[in-house]
Structure 1
Amino acid sequence: MIAQYFPRASIITTITIKNSAAATTAAVSATTTDNRCKAMFTIYKNHENRSLTDTWYEKLSHGLPSLVRAGESTSEDRFTHWDTRLQLMSGQVPYIPCKVTQYDGVAVGQCLAAKAKAGKPTWLAFYGDSTMRLKMDVLLNFLPPDLIYSYYLNNKKVRRKLFKDIVAYELEYRPQIFEVYGQQSLDLLQSPMTNSDNDSNCINRDNYVKKGQMKIYRGSRWYSAKDNCSSVMNMRRTYRLRLTMVWATRGSKSGAPLDEGEKISKLEEWGKAEVVPDVVLVGFGKWSLMSREKIGMELEPFTALHSLSRPLLEPLTRLAQITPVILASQGRYRWHNYRSTNSPVLDNERELHRIIYQSQVTDSIPYLDAWLWTLLKSTGIWRWDSTLPFNLASLKECDLMRDAGFSNHPFYTNRWWNCEDPHHSSYETNTNEIQMLFNMLCNPYLSTDNRHCCSSSSSSHSTNSSIS
């Protein structure tokens, strides 16, 4: 999985994890078994560390191992890498009071089989903007190899490559619904549908536009989510794994900040359905910050975020009563990307203007997170901020590599660190997050060791299989 992001990985040196006082406080204060699953996502906070800045999260990031190190030389060998931070810590994060299990495609397959034996297929749902889209892209690397997969955009079956391209890249047009279904071969024999990636593509070639060498699917312009070229009804009855991504950039609507936008009603539908996702991950907010640049009013993004999020209160309350709903923190900006490499910033008026604007946006993100959480916390959803220190640690590594002259190196430009993307978290951070989601979904069915997050030795779902 890691190889596709890294062209070369050096051998890592021994890393000493520094346990800060903040990390110790966080870990000790949430140790009951009942809270262990939630504590994997939500960091315990007392009155002293409930701040509207990232200072406390930055302190927690100091207790995480670094994936890079600087030396006296700018040689490539001065930078080292070895998989994810979770792997370097063996799943034991200083401020999380339980152990995070490491999953790969095979282990996920064992989980799905155990859940299927208990009569429970697995369904993960993402709801939000491109931060959710990239999490789904990373999740595709965890798909068990023993299942046969079908890919859909707005209920239209497509080939895997097209699906991957549209999920992975920042394109102008977006389908509203992305879905993946994984089935066993025995399930396929009971279904009248065909599920090969080589089947005819239901999206007509006339609905592509070309951007350089890449074809772009004009999904949201040509099709609504009600289109049904290849029905997925039978698939929904026989799947072992289902992944859904709902494109809702502004919470209750999709579209650019100042557009009227299209109302999104998926949360309402799920709240009234007989079968609901095992977990719904919600993440949006940054798009509203773009309205500040166009309108010029300091509070406009927060006003827009408030008005577009209020319609979610009722459906989230209903949904959170029947399945876990988790609100993800927004990744912080990599504003260093706007620094000039050829001249001092103060000598370039355009870049100075961009730095000032970007700094305003950067400072606003913690407030945006707090604003959205204050509005939605009464619904019963969980807050996910435990990987925010991972995100901040990644940003520091990008700064380190840039200052060392590595801004053109594959380590810097590759999506694993994602240093050239000012908006989104690195794929390394996203990978750790997907691991946590599988801990929530799988540990009750695979692990009998109550040291693991979300597992319970007394759970009736636990099997004889165990993981470490």
Structure 2
Amino acid sequence: MRGKLARTLFTFCLAFATGGFLCLLYLSSSEKSRLPAAPDKGLRHKCWSMFNIGVQKYPERKGVGNRNFGNGLAPGTSYYNELSSSLPTLLLSLPNGTLDLLPKTRLEITDGRLSYLDCGIRLYNAKEVMSCSALRRKGKDGALWVAFVGDSKMRDKFKGFLNMTPNFKWRIYNTTSKEVTSTTWERFASSHHPKFQHSLSVKGTLDSRVDLVWANHGLDIYKIAEISQQELQHWAYKASRVPDVIVIGFGTWSITGGFASDTESLNPFTDCADEWRKVRKVLDVLSQRTTVIASAQSRTREFTAIDYAVNGRPDSSKEDEAPRNETADDKLYRINYYTRHLSNGAEWIDEAMHMALRNSNIIIWDSTIPFNLLNIKECQALYDAGLKGHPSYSEHSCHDDIHIDSFTTKDETTMILNLLCNHHMENKDSLYCCP
């Protein structure tokens, strides 16, 4: 009896072991087309909250692993407006009765302390960024590598990162690895024609690298450019190393594409959410390998948008001009139609992204929307005072209807550097958002 039981037990164990081996063999063969994802690189709550402040509005929303990261509903513009009132203004009233804007960032004025964050943001100079890169290169993190994926919105963040790190002696290469001048890529990046969809890789000192994966027109026509899809899929499934952080986002093309194109959608917001859900599949894989940040929609300077709608852009081509036979009523309708969707559509586009990315490990970056809204108020004051020709008007991007100002872009670069560098620097401060 004992012998029979032993033989039965042996047979069962052999079958179990064989089955387990075959199962592993099957999984191995089915997965050999892609590399396994690295361990979860989820951020600590404080570091996450430096980018995402929506959790304060909707604290009941949970992220991956039941972490309270606020990737649920999108707070409305009124919420961000309320927070912006706690920020220092750059607007100055001069003794002669005119206005001016300080040439500083809000993080520089507050020394990295924001009233709506329970942690501080470390300020970096070019020398410290170089030290960070050297330490990363010597350690397990490897050479510094940042990637931006999107349209002109990400182009500005890409340029902002380069502007803050001039001592890296960046050299620009296109998709064919041919070095190009800054003038050449600026010409491509300023055009929104599909044939100019070029990705760029900038390489500098200490093997550092910054990529711009150029997804021209963003979500217009409800598909992300093929070149950006291929790059994201390569990083997710094939690359042995991926960027240290990937920032993805799109500007107003995701709004106007649904409302003001020849192929208007019956439900552009649903289409936008569906497109983000498609992108999420690859972003979810990437978020297990590196930090992935999705940028919230910037708000519009309506006074500038209306000005352009009425008078046209100074640098616009004939193709961009309004129809010659347009009546006054048609013009009024076009202006209201365009500006209404730009101003109101931003909230809905944010909501579409939040709904598509909720309960994911992808960070939604909305912490600088209050900066953006306060800048708009300051620009509005200059505009109302008839100071469109004032140097500060252009310096603070008041002439631009849709992009954030360069000072806010600099603060955003500082936040990215906090994510990548704080844990490498001496005299680490536990009060920093990313210790």
TM-score tier (shorter): 0.7 to 0.9
Counterparts of 1:108 and 1:183, CA distance in 2: 11
The answer to whether the Cα contact below 8 Å between 2:46 and 2:434 also exists between their aligned partners in 1 is: yes
Structure (1/2) with the larger helix percentage: 2
Deviations 1:333-355 (A, max 9, x none): 111114459x9xxx964653344
Which residue number in structure 2 is paired with residue 68 of structure 1?
A: 91
Counterparts of 2:118 and 2:224, CA distance in 1: 44
Residue 244 of structure 1 aligns to a residue in which SS? strand
In the alignment, which of 387, 391, 408 is matched to residue 410 of structure 1?
Answer: 391
Which residue number in structure 2 is paired with residue 20 of structure 1?
A: none
| Partner amino acid, structure 2, of 1:331 | S
Q: 1:138 to 1:170 in 2, by over 3 A?
A: farther
| Partner amino acid, structure 1, of 2:186 | D
- Alpha-carbon offset, residue 294 of structure 1: 2.7
- Alpha-carbon offset, residue 79 of structure 1: 1.7
Q: 1:259 to 1:382 in 2, by over 3 A?
A: closer
Counterparts of 2:232 and 2:307, CA distance in 1: 43
Deviations 1:421-444 (A, max 9, x none): 112111111111001000100001
- Alpha-carbon offset, residue 52 of structure 1: 5.2
Q: Does 1:118 align with 2:139?
A: yes
| Partner amino acid, structure 1, of 2:82 | K
Q: Does 1:317 align with 2:298?
A: no
Deviations 1:161-196 (A, max 9, x none): 335624763564534311101134xxxxxxxxxxxx
Q: 1:74 to 1:431 in 2, by over 3 A?
A: same
What pairs with 1:139-288 in structure 2 (closer than 5 Å)? 139-145=161-167, 147-162=168-183, 165-166=186-187, 169-170=190-191, 172=193, 173-184=195-206, 239=207, 241-249=208-216, 257=221, 262=226, 264-272=229-237, 273-284=239-250, 286-288=252-254
| Partner amino acid, structure 2, of 1:392 | L
Which residue number in structure 2 is paired with residue 442 of structure 1?
A: 421
In the alignment, structure 2 segments of 5+ residues that lack a partner are 1-42, 61-72, 311-326
Deviations 1:220-253 (A, max 9, x none): xxxxxxxxxxxxxxxxxxx2x11011112466x7
In the alignment, which of 423, 427, 445 is matched to residue 402 of structure 2?
Answer: 423
Which residue number in structure 2 is paired with residue 327 of structure 1?
A: 294
Residue 149 of structure 2 aligns to a residue in which SS? strand
Which residue number in structure 2 is paired with residue 83 of structure 1?
A: 104
| Partner amino acid, structure 2, of 1:45 | Q
Deviations 1:65-105 (A, max 9, x none): 11113468553xx3241411100001001111211111122
Q: Does 1:45 align with 2:9?
A: no
Q: 1:103 to 1:174 in 2, by over 3 A?
A: farther
Sequence identity percentage: 30
Residue 245 of structure 1 aligns to a residue in which SS? strand
In the alignment, which of 130, 154, 175 is matched to residue 152 of structure 2?
Answer: 130
Q: 1:261 to 1:102 in 2, by over 3 A?
A: closer
Residue 178 of structure 2 aligns to a residue in which SS? strand
Which residue number in structure 1 is paired with residue 34 of structure 2?
A: none
Deviations 1:308-334 (A, max 9, x none): 333212211111011110111111111
Counterparts of 1:314 and 1:259, CA distance in 2: 14
Counterparts of 1:306 and 1:107, CA distance in 2: 40
Quick check: 127-136 or 162-171, which moved more? 162-171
RCO (CA 8 Å, sep 6+): is it higher in 1 or 2?
2
Counterparts of 1:181 and 1:419, CA distance in 2: 32
Residue 210 of structure 2 aligns to a residue in which SS? strand
The answer to whether the Cα contact below 8 Å between 2:188 and 2:198 also exists between their aligned partners in 1 is: no
Q: 1:110 to 1:160 in 2, by over 3 A?
A: farther
Q: Does 1:380 align with 2:380?
A: no
Aligned residues: 356
The answer to whether the Cα contact below 8 Å between 2:247 and 2:293 also exists between their aligned partners in 1 is: yes
Counterparts of 1:157 and 1:366, CA distance in 2: 40
Which residue number in structure 2 is paired with residue 394 of structure 1?
A: 375
Counterparts of 1:167 and 1:383, CA distance in 2: 28
- Alpha-carbon offset, residue 154 of structure 1: 1.2
Residue 316 of structure 1 aligns to a residue in which SS? helix
Residue 336 of structure 2 aligns to a residue in which SS? helix
Q: Does 1:361 align with 2:327?
A: no
Aligned-residue Cα RMSD (Å) equals: 2.8
Q: 1:260 to 1:151 in 2, by over 3 A?
A: closer
Q: Does 1:101 align with 2:67?
A: no
Counterparts of 2:250 and 2:265, CA distance in 1: 19
Q: 1:398 to 1:296 in 2, by over 3 A?
A: farther
Deviations 1:17-66 (A, max 9, x none): xxxxxxxxxxxxxxxx9311111101132449966530010000011111
- Alpha-carbon offset, residue 298 of structure 1: 7.0
Q: 1:339 to 1:126 in 2, by over 3 A?
A: closer
Taking structure 1 as the reference length, the TM-score comes to: 0.69
In the alignment, structure 1 segments of 5+ residues that lack a partner are 1-32, 185-238, 456-468
Q: 1:351 to 1:73 in 2, by over 3 A?
A: farther
Q: 1:298 to 1:144 in 2, by over 3 A?
A: closer
Which residue number in structure 2 is paired with residue 34 of structure 1?
A: 44
